[in-house]
Structure 1
Amino acid sequence: MTSATAPVPVDEVDLYAESAILEPYGHYRRLRDLGPVVYLKRHGVYALPRYEETRAALTDDDTFRNAGGVSLNDHYNNLILGSTFASDGDEHARLRAITGGRLTPRALRPMRGRVEATADAVVEALVEQGSFDAVGDLARAMVLAVVPDFLGIPDDGREHLIDWAAANFNCHGPLNDRARASLPLSSAMAAYAERLVEERSARPDGVAHCVLDALDRGEVGRDQAVSLMIDYLVPSLDTTVTGLTAAIDLFARHPDQWDLIRQDPALIPGAFREVLRLETPVRAFGRRVARDTEIGRACLPAGSQVLVMFASANRDERAWDRPEEFDVCRESLGHLGFGYGAHGCAGQGLARLETHAVLAALARRVARFEVRGSRRTVNNVMRAFDSLPTRAVPAG
């Protein structure tokens, strides 16, 4: 430590109040203006609202640890100990390797044709229908047509996956009323994962069966196998659903950007990165500080907790030119919408494959989108829609 440490500014905001969840960006901007580290008195954590410090923390797995700190409440941190999500270092790498080979771009390549055919079928039916809900009829329908089969889970229980995933993310916030109300659903998801392990009901060709194989080899115990099942039931769904729905909303509000996509579909990968930057699905996760450290001349003591604010960092004026604008031609490769570093989203390759296929199918058929009466989800962690009523105007 240097002797010239600076005081940490303090803010009283409750980032998990309904109003802050629905309209977060003004709060993020104020926190960024206060400094690279801000102590959130209501939550007892040090927030990292700026891009540089957020990205640096995500690359320093030795100092900023997931285990015991990724959730903003001790109850859930204790429940998920032993999972990939709540492990670090060599143990995290070992657990992630159990299924990692099935999630690489090379491993996913044979799926491309089936995913594109599924996207074509979903989009063609909805465009013919004219009006639809971009959340349920498009994004969730696409994900549920692809992900459960990819995971290899039985048909029984698939209908609950979306609700279970939302509950899981709620439980990662502070132990507020929203988190407490979600605990029973989180327990139901855990019981389902336990049944997958006990009954060995995952199909041999799916990713979930890799966990059963690791259990048979003695690489993980039964309880850890259950935790690993949960690890792949939850994140495989929500980034795709929220990212794709956000894309429809943004293109409806910025028809000029959709025109660019229709004229040049090669822009789709970069456009999806820009969607994730501007409307980051996961707002923030916590980390536990393993040793005394400094950020921006502020001293963070060992054992304290930081809130790594992905969504704020992705709009940081210090890192992005015109950060509030939606620009599909922007180079957004450095975005943190999938996280970053050792704990970056393991399923991001599949999310890109699905979303790119849907946007390409839409670009061939839709001239513009009209959205009326959208409704946002109130979730502790996810920035998402409950409903996005959409009319697709067919291309002439």
Structure 2
Amino acid sequence: MPHIPTSDVDLYSESARADPYALYSRLRELGPVVHLSRYGLYALPRYEEVRSALMDWRTFSSARGVFVDPDVNARLEGITLCSDPPEHTAMRAVLGRPLRPDRMREVDPRIAAEADEVVDRVVGMGRFEVVSELAEHLPMTVVSDLVGLPDHGREKMLEWAAAIWDTQGPADGRAAAAGPVVEEFMAFATTDAVPGKITPDGWAAQLYQAADRGEIPHGKCPVMMLDYVTPSLDTTILAITNAVSLFARHPDQWELLRADRSLIPHAINESLRLETPVPQFSRVLTEDHEVGGVPLAAGSRVALLYASANRDERHYPDPTRFDITRRPSDHLAFGRGEHVCVGMHLARLEMTALLERLADRVARFEIVESRPLINNGLRGIDYLDVTVEAAPEVATR
């Protein structure tokens, strides 16, 4: 029987949420499977095992929750994130309808116009805070409008989303504090985000229209709002902020991008690989299963460490280097398989629009101050103050 290494590492400590990469490296060195004694679960820290698990939903089930705390997992069973086919397939089909690439083409002109406006404004300022003045703009103007919630709900979306992500951690601390905020959102989703109070042609309204057609149960509509409030906001905001931070710290890569805009898709992938906004989810084994040569029993909860896998030296040469010519389209930041991120096309569209315009206007970024985000389910930057050197002329496309 292969030995399963054990670690008492606390992945939810403040220091680990700020910078987990040394911990991830130690876990990868220990083996393909590591028992995390603090949480009573197993972790997969390496790329190959995480990717294989994501592609095998029958064995690595989401139906019993994908977080850490048993009570939270029990309460969330049945939402899109915490379900398996065929239930998951039906919900995902409804959620993904307005997020298909062909529907994104309809949104593209509006995103482009908003990107023009915000980039002109922040570059003209010379110094700005990236999260609040740049990265939040498209999600909070375009996306919140597309979801179609009442105005008082839109004002709380970021607070609600952050709390929902915080419930991913252990029951004490940040997760406990997030509980009442999540309950506030669920009350809003049940009583206020309903037909007659939401934009008739918005994404939220389309959930109820699908329920009227019998595609999903009506009772699923309020909890499915989670899928529009959380993935469409924080993750994209973090991805945009992380990208600016990386380019500020690697001006040679910014010069490459300004000279060759065809590198933008690869730059997005590389920034997501190196700084993954959602570092992990968990799964439960439906049967006895061998992972990396290690046998695990049915019922075991397994944490899939996406952010660690994306820096696995077994898969990516020199994995800590930011290299926009790497072309890592196989990164796991959006997940894989049945639960691949339903909003990834929208996120790419927003990031592309901003990077194109920043490349026209900015010769160089300089970081003045940066603070990490401390959240149980997210990782990135909470505050990024930068100065910009305006480009003397439009860069060559």
Q: Report if TM-score (shorter chain) is over 0.5.
A: yes
Partner residue in 2 for 1:70: 66
Partner residue in 1 for 2:79: 83
Partner residue in 2 for 1:375: 371
Partner residue in 1 for 2:224: 228
Partner residue in 2 for 1:18: 14
Tell me whether 166-175 or 248-257 shows the greater mean CA deviation.
166-175
> 296, 300, 311: which is aligned to 1:300?
296
Aligned-residue offset at 1:172: 1.2
Q: How many residues align?
A: 392
Aligned-residue offset at 1:283: 0.8
> 144, 149, 170: which is aligned to 1:174?
170
Letter of the 1:261 partner, please give it.
Answer: L
> 257, 263, 267: which is aligned to 1:261?
257
Letter of the 1:55 partner, please give it.
Answer: R
Write out per-residue CA displacement over residues 261-281 of structure 1, whole angstroms, 9 at most, x where no aligned residue. 111112111101100000000
2:147 corresponds to 1:151: yes
2:239 corresponds to 1:243: yes
Partner residue in 1 for 2:45: 49
TM-score (norm 1): 0.96
Alignment of 1:247-396 (within 5 A): 247-396=243-392
Letter of the 2:81 partner, please give it.
Answer: F
In the aligned structure 2, how far is the partner of 1:71 from the partner of 1:307?
Answer: 8
In the aligned structure 1, how far is the partner of 2:168 from the partner of 2:49?
Answer: 22
| Cα pair 2:90 2:215 within 8 Å, conserved | no
Write out per-residue CA displacement over residues 321-374 of structure 1, whole angstroms, 9 at most, x where no aligned residue. 110000011111000111111101100000000010001110000001111221
Aligned-residue offset at 1:199: 4.7
In the aligned structure 1, how far is the partner of 2:102 from the partner of 2:224?
Answer: 23
Aligned-residue offset at 1:68: 1.4
Write out per-residue CA displacement over residues 125-169 of structure 1, whole angstroms, 9 at most, x where no aligned residue. 011111111011100122111111121222222121111111111
2:104 corresponds to 1:108: yes
| Cα pair 1:274 1:330 within 8 Å, conserved | yes
Alignment of 1:161-240 (within 5 A): 161-240=157-236
Partner residue in 1 for 2:122: 126
| Cα pair 2:195 2:205 within 8 Å, conserved | no
- Do the aligned partners of residues 23 and 99 (structure 1) sit closer, same or farther apart at CA in structure 2, a change above 3 Å counting? closer
Unaligned regions of 5+ residues in structure 2, if any?
Answer: 393-397
In the aligned structure 2, how far is the partner of 1:162 from the partner of 1:359?
Answer: 23
Write out per-residue CA displacement over residues 144-202 of structure 1, whole angstroms, 9 at most, x where no aligned residue. 11111121222222121111111111101221311001111111111121124545422
In the aligned structure 2, how far is the partner of 1:231 from the partner of 1:78?
Answer: 18
TM-score (norm 2): 0.96
| Cα pair 1:71 1:172 within 8 Å, conserved | yes
Q: Look up the SS of the partner of 2:151 in the other structure.
A: coil
| Cα pair 1:13 1:40 within 8 Å, conserved | yes
| Cα pair 2:194 2:205 within 8 Å, conserved | no
In the aligned structure 2, how far is the partner of 1:89 from the partner of 1:249?
Answer: 38
Letter of the 1:204 partner, please give it.
Answer: P
Tell me whether 232-241 or 195-204 shows the greater mean CA deviation.
195-204
Letter of the 2:338 partner, please give it.
Answer: A
| Cα pair 2:44 2:304 within 8 Å, conserved | yes
Letter of the 2:342 partner, please give it.
Answer: A
CA RMSD of aligned residues (A): 1.2
In the aligned structure 2, how far is the partner of 1:336 from the partner of 1:158?
Answer: 30
Letter of the 2:126 partner, please give it.
Answer: G
| Cα pair 1:369 1:390 within 8 Å, conserved | yes
In the aligned structure 1, how far is the partner of 2:198 from the partner of 2:175?
Answer: 29
In the aligned structure 2, how far is the partner of 1:99 from the partner of 1:376?
Answer: 31
Letter of the 2:237 partner, please give it.
Answer: V
Write out per-residue CA displacement over residues 37-91 of structure 1, whole angstroms, 9 at most, x where no aligned residue. 0000011110000000000000000011112130101221122222111110211
Q: Look up the SS of the partner of 1:235 in the other structure.
A: coil
